Amino acid sequence: MLQDKLLIWKYNRGRKEVLQRIYEKYKDDLVTLAAALLSDVSSAEDVVHDVFVSFLRSFEKFRLTGSLKGYLATCVANNARNINKARQRHQSTGLDEADQVISGANRPDIAVIFGEELRQLSRALRQLPYEQREVLMLHVYSGLKFKAIARSQGISINTVQGRYRYALDKLRSLLNSEVDPVRNSTKNGVTMKHKYNSKRGF
């Protein structure tokens, strides 16, 4: 947190090269979040790029009041939500087609983000209603509190908590007994523990 505040302090004073450090620090997590929300790595990269472009334009007036990762994750989720709404207005992508977007593309970054250990979980996530998936990812993966999610989405905290509970119940149903209660997987050399229980989800 202190390191992020120092980076923003420098950023506010015109040191735009600091943005590169922030980008390198959070890019992988933000692309993973966007890809989980959109089921499309290419679109996810575009979303993250747009977020950082907007961030660059606001450097003189930006003030960090909470978690920088949480702020960026909220921006990514907002952009992903807009893309999802645009898709729904045109033509919805079926689950089978969405799976091909991920597994059929011949790119190394897809193997990183959707490696074999996470493939089953990512398929289950794509079957959740979008609103539930967004709350789940923001709370569990990005670490946002329910209150912050409710504020960013303009809904009540009870609605956010309800979507979170429904998402967990749906995931349990989809994954059944195929996911261990505590499962370790590695992404980019960082170990992520998926704790799947009634309190945190996974």
Cα–Cα separations (whole angstroms), residue 119 to 86, 102, 111, 156:
26, 9, 10, 32
Within-domain flag for 60: yes
Within-domain flag for 108: yes
Residue pLDDT, tens place only, 26-78: 999 999 999 989 888 888 999 999 999 988 887 667 777 778 899 999 999 99
H helices present in the chain, as ranges: 2-12, 18-38, 41-57, 68-90, 95-103, 108-113, 116-126, 130-136, 146-153, 157-175
Within-domain flag for 201: no
Is residue 160 within 8 Å of 137, Cβ to Cβ?
no
Within-domain flag for 78: yes
Q: Structural domain tally of the chain?
A: 1
**Residue 124 sits in which domain range?**
2-195
> What pLDDT was estimated at residue 97?
44
**Strand partners of residue 183:** 194
Predicted model pTM = 0.69
Is residue 77 within 8 Å of 152, Cβ to Cβ?
yes
Residue pLDDT, tens place only, 167-194: 999 988 887 645 444 344 444 433 333 4
Within-domain flag for 202: no
What is the Cα–Cα distance from 22 to 24, expressed in whole angstroms?
6
Neighbours of 64 (CB within 10 A): 15
pLDDT at 108 over 90: no
Within-domain flag for 139: yes
Within-domain flag for 189: yes
Within-domain flag for 51: yes
